[in-house]
Structure 1
Amino acid sequence: MGEVVEGTRQALDEANLVAWLRSQGLLPISVSKTVGGETVSTEKGSLSKTLLAWKSRLALVTTVATKDKAIFVRQLATMVGSGMTLSASLDILKDQTSNRRLAVSIGQVKKLLDGGWSLSAAMKTRKEFSPLMVAMVQAGEEGGLLDTTLSRLALFLEKQEALRRKVTSAVTYPSVVLFFAVLVLYVLVTFIVPKFEVVFSQMGGELPALTHVVFTLSSLMKQKWYMCAGAVFLLFFLGFLLNRFPKTRPYVDRLKLRLPITGDILQKAIMARSMRTLASLVQAGVPILSGLTMTAEVADNTRVASAFLNIREAARKGAPLGETAKKEKIFPLMVAHMITVGEQTGHLEEMLNKIADWFEMELDEKVSKLTSVLEPVLILFVGGIVAIVALSIFLPIIGAIQTML
């Protein structure tokens, strides 16, 4: 157990005092300024420190985006390649990184690095750096090509971010249109339709079936809106739970890949990400068995992860990767043939990168086609909803006019 030591010492500032304490083998717990033997403290200063502490804690709650990691790794690779030491590079990046949580992690990595740790070992202590990043950095350190490996890692992260943006852009447009469609329907049914319902009830007579259905839906959404909102919330919550439980997630993941429109996009995105990951790991010098394990982890789909783990087990027994990939239905036959060619020629990482490029190209075409097709479909969908509501209102009016004539 350590011993708590208290005392006073003259220093230029707190940073200078902390540096002296560490040089004496002491770990500073608390440092306060004193004048004439009395601690200097003001209510305003204490409040400012408290607010600053809370602000720092809130900043640490934020996540570290792939884009921030890519910028950090790219800058670190440039600095190391120019001849700067790792410690000096990390010290500069710690101060200029905009993401507070990443800045704190860089600072912790620098402290461990100054204490004699390797960069990969120091990064492994922080959750912000994935096992894949740690493995590639470790391979670069062991091979003496850290700057080259960091450049490859930065390129990999940049491509992953570009892929994420493609998938996001494919989902954003239809989601926004559907949201406004539902909003328009809600306004029509809950605010406009009830006014016509009062008029038609005073007129008497039997309402058309379409009008009756719309009025019933309007009454339900206006009086029992909480039931509709609860049903939607329950549906999403149920999907979340099914996606979290180990026993049900495989079925959910299979269903995701079989969805009519988004299933193919999701599969191509997963394949592009997985193949790019494996290519980067192999290129960095990570053992193939470890690379396949990490690739399965980043797949984010149990069906695809299971296929990579099956390839790993077969490779551990000496089976070629391409031959095992042919047996996995999740991989197109062309992918298995390209992996086989890569193994036979000794350029596996190049073939894996080409496979990833092919999937990304297919994804681009799929997204562009989907956007061009969805645009008129969604317009027709929204127009159809408005037309049904308008028709349900005009039918009784037309019926009443015909009766009068």
Structure 2
Amino acid sequence: MGFKLENIQQTIENKKQNHKKTSFLQKEITLFGSLFSNKVKEDFYIELSVLLKAGITLKEALDLIQKATKKQQQKEKIATICDEIISGSSLSEAIKAQKEFTDYEYYSLKIGEETGTLQQVTDQLGAFYARKNEQRRNIISALTYPIIILTTAVLVVGFMLQYVVPMFQDIFEQQKVELPTITKFIISVSEAMKTYGWLVLVFFGFLFFSKTMFNKKLWFKKLKDQLLLKTPFVGQFLKTIYLSQFTQAVSLLTASKVPLVHSIQLVKKMISFYPLQEALEQVEKNILIGKSLSESLSQHSIFDDKMIALVRVAEETNQNEFIFKRLNQQYSTQVQQKSKQLSTIMEPIIIMIVGFFVGVILIAMYLPMFKLSSVLG
């Protein structure tokens, strides 16, 4: 061969570093995650793209990736794909047979094979998952600190209700002090927590472990996404994230010469956000009866005026790929800005809420103390 594998490996590492430079706290966190998570797919497609560009055959490229993979289950999965290719299947067909991969990946790879642009398609898929992972890391980074504060606050309030309030209650009962209404309320909350606190823990534990089961139910998914979309600030933030993913996917599919209707169908299957999926289903129907994309998008509030105006320009100038790429850059920038705003806004709000509850408990405990001191005096 006219190239060195050491140089190829170094190129792969350099390209992966260009896609992500993150600390430990910013890495993708998965619990009961997929064997091929978005992070694994990002690395897989980036490495495959670099190896194909270097002139290595698809079979040799997969062999190299398999040897470099550390987890045994992932090695076996790549080996299975390799065996399918040796048996005469294409990469897209081998990918389709594995449940970890989506229709979006299958059709993208199939188009790449048919048009002789497999290297470019794998590079685009790597870029897609890199951007998706970056958005996930931004969200985790923005929410980590507020969640830590909120958890600590809940534990502090729970400790005060469970242990501190009963201590004061015993003192008040011994001295037969008439308790204010607010003190009686806090004591009743403390007693209820001691009696029924375990039921609350069981309830939240049930919600956590049944999350996977509920997420498969359409009614639950629809209700959850609609509620999130209507939540102040959070709804707008999620909307921006999914519009960023939508514009990126359409941009990549347009670059691969996928027909518009087919692109909408693929993106609808790929993005797991019910309001957007429902809107895209109607957009697809409108396009099939002869309406333009911009006209179809304008009928749904989830698509903003800026997107509709630029899509109309794209249709008139036949610049769909360029326009959707620009839209994706704008939405990605907004996601980064809004994630920082979310962290900045949530922190003082949580501190204010915590301060309120702790203050109420302290006031409720100290008001009888003043009466007690006057009685003793």
Q: By the TM > 0.5 criterion, same fold?
A: yes
Aligned to 1:352: 324
Relative to structure 1, the CA distance from residue 379 to residue 204 in structure 2 (aligned partners, 3 Å threshold; closer, same or farther) is same
CA displacement at 1:190 relative to structure 2: 0.6
Q: Aligned partner of 1:366: which letter?
A: K
Which structure would you say has the larger RCO, counting Cα contacts within 8 Å and 6 or more residues apart? 2
Larger deviation, residues 395-404 vs 116-125: 395-404
Report how far residue 243 of structure 1 moved.
5.3
What residue is the counterpart of 1:292 in the other structure?
264
Give the match for residue 235 of structure 2.
263
Report what 1:307 is aligned to.
Answer: 279
- Shift of residue 69, structure 1, vs aligned partner: 0.7
**Residue 389 of structure 1 corresponds to which residue in structure 2?**
361
**Partner of residue 59 from structure 2, selected from 84, 87, 102:** 87
Aligned partners of 2:33, 2:142: CA distance in 1, in Å? 29
Does 2:243 correspond to 1:246?
no
Residues 1:78 and 1:249: Cα distance change in structure 2 (over 3 Å): closer
Q: State the shift of 1:248 in Å.
A: 5.2
| Bigger Rg, structure 1 or 2 | 1
Aligned counterparts of 2:89 and 2:194: Cα–Cα separation in 1: 64
Q: 2:323 & 2:145 partners in 1: Cα distance?
A: 34
In the TM superposition, residue 233 of structure 1 has moved relative to its aligned partner by 4.9
Where does residue 331 of structure 1 map in the other structure? 303
State the SS of the aligned residue for 2:372. helix
Structure 2 counterparts to residues 160-171 of structure 1, below 5 A: 160-171=132-143
Distance in 2 of aligned mates of 1:92 and 1:101? 16
The Cα shift of 1:238 comes to 9.1
CA offsets per residue over residues 307-328 of structure 1, 9 Å max, x none?
Answer: 1122222222332111111112
SS at match of 2:89: coil
Aligned partners of 2:239, 2:214: CA distance in 1, in Å? Answer: 20
Unaligned runs of at least 5 residues, structure 2: 1-31
**Identical columns (%):** 24
Task: Tell me by how many angstroms 1:241 deviates.
Answer: 7.1
> 2:347 aligns to what?
375
Q: Which amino acid aligns with 1:330?
A: I
2:165 to 181, 186, 193: 193
Partner amino acid, structure 2, of 1:145: T
Instruction: Tell me, in whole angstroms, the C-alpha distance in 2 between the residues paired with 1:97 and 1:239.
Output: 30
Q: Deviations over 1:106-132 (max 9, x none)?
A: 111111111111111111111122211
| TM-score, scaled to structure 1 | 0.80
Matches of 2:362 and 2:103, distance apart in 1:
57
CA distance in structure 2 between the partners assigned to 1:213 and 1:220 by the alignment? 10
Answer yes or no: is the 8 Å Cα contact 1:250–1:302 preserved in 2. Answer: yes
Q: What whole-Å deviation, never above 9, does each CA across 1:320-355 have from its counterpart, x for those lacking one? A: 111111112211111111111112222212211222
How many residue pairs are counted as aligned between the two chains?
346
Provide the rounded CA distance (Å) in 1 between the counterparts of 2:312 and 2:34: 43
For structure 1, the residue ranges without an aligned partner over 5 or more in a row are 1-59
Deviations 1:51-99 (A, max 9, x none): xxxxxxxxx9953221111111111111111110111110111121234
Q: Write the deviation string for residues 249-286 of structure 1: whole angstroms up to 9, x where unpaired.
A: 43432222001232111111111112211211121222
What does residue range 78-227 of structure 1 map to in structure 2 within 5 Å?
78-227=50-199
Using the TM superposition, give the Cα deviation of residue 236 of structure 1 relative to its aligned residue in structure 2, in angstroms. Answer: 6.5
Name 1:399's counterpart in structure 2.
Answer: 371
Letter in 1 for 2:330: W
User: In structure 2, what is the Cα distance between the partners aligned to 1:327 and 1:383?
Assistant: 45
CA contact (8 A) 1:64 1:101 kept: no
Q: What is the aligned partner in structure 2 of residue 321 from structure 1?
A: 293
Give the distance between the partners of 1:182 and 1:85, measured in 2 at CA: 57
User: In structure 2, what is the Cα distance between the partners aligned to 1:230 and 1:248?
Assistant: 20
Secondary structure, aligned partner of 1:327: coil
Q: Give the superposition deviation at 1:290.
A: 1.9
